[in-house]
Amino acid sequence: MSKAVISLKLVEIDPNLKFEIANTELGGKAFWCIQCGMCTSGCPVAEFLKPHRIVKMVMLGLKDQLINCKEIWLCTTCFTCSERCPQEVDPANIIFSLKNIAAKQGIIPEGLRSIGKNLAETGRVIKISTYRERERKKLGLPKTPQVHVEKNREILEETSFIKALERVRQ
Ligand code: SF4
Ligand code: SF4
């Protein structure tokens, strides 16, 4: 008789994750989730990101998987999931909390990192090129208004934004 082979994959569990999330201002009602799926049924990016699954994974303590997955960064912050939740769970803000945890560990996707770098260096999320200024002039538009780069940088320093960018894992 042939033997059945079952391969088990060990997954690291962080039993404190649900408390870590629930203790934040953003994730307070995470424990109230009943896995009804109402959140996911209205999510515009549900093909890639399923908020009910994210909440479940938080409850299971799958921290490493959550903070290392690309999907949490695909959330459009539309808050449809939070509005639809019959339990007031607020999955959108739970996803925010996860992104904060990831960022504190230096896990920030490349695209967002470059937007953050632009913001720190120029005060804008995109750099204004000379081409863009020329095109504005042709269209009779005024020059792009000046930004207070130093003031902006002070705010970014104060809110630890710069530190988070510097912490990015290589
Ligand atoms: S709608 Fe609310 S209660 Fe239902 S699965 Fe989503 S988070 Fe949980
Ligand atoms: S806030 Fe994010 S997770 Fe919630 S419905 Fe919108 S895109 Fe989906």
| DSSP-based helix, strand, coil % in the chain, nearest 5 | 55, 0, 45
Q: What is the CATH classification number for the domain harbouring 35?
A: 1.10.1060.10
Distance CA 86, CA 80 (A): 12
CA–CA distance from 124 to each of 75, 93, 140, 159 (Å)? 22, 25, 22, 17
Ligand 2: nearest atom to the Cα of 39: 5
- Identify the band that residue 162 occupies on the pLDDT scale cut at 50, 70 and 90: confident
Q: Does residue 135 carry a pLDDT above 60?
A: yes
User: Mean pLDDT over residues 54-75, rounded?
Assistant: 95
* Domain annotation covers residue 71: yes
Identify whether residues 99 and 120 lie together within a single domain.
no
Identify whether residues 95 and 127 lie together within a single domain.
no
How confident is the model at residue 5, as a pLDDT?
75
How confident is the model at residue 107, as a pLDDT?
93
Average pLDDT, the chain: 90
Identify whether residues 38 and 97 lie together within a single domain.
yes
How confident is the model at residue 127, as a pLDDT?
86
Task: Write down which residue in 66, 88, 104 finishes a domain.
Answer: 104
How confident is the model at residue 1, as a pLDDT?
56
Q: Can you give the pTM of this predicted structure?
A: 0.83
- Domain count along the chain: 2
User: Mean pLDDT over residues 78-99, rounded?
Assistant: 95
How confident is the model at residue 159, as a pLDDT?
87
| Full domain range(s) for residue 60 | 17-104
What lies within 8 Å, CB to CB, of 23 at 6+ separation is: none
Nearest alpha carbon, ligand 2 atom 5: 43
Q: Does residue 147 carry a pLDDT above 70?
A: yes
Task: Please report where in the chains the tokens 């695209």 appear, as a residue.
Answer: 111
Distance 163 CA to ligand 2 centre (A): 27
Identify whether residues 88 and 121 lie together within a single domain.
no
Identify whether residues 49 and 98 lie together within a single domain.
yes
* Domain annotation covers residue 40: yes
The three-class DSSP label of residue 146 is coil
Nearest to 95 by CA among 167, 39, 13, 15: 39
Q: Does residue 13 carry a pLDDT above 80?
A: yes
To test the ligand 2 pocket, which listed residue (75, 89, 90, 98) has its Cβ within 8 A of the most ligand atoms?
75
Distance CA 71, CA 4 (A): 35
Among 47-56, 87-96, 155-164, which is the least confidently predicted range? 155-164
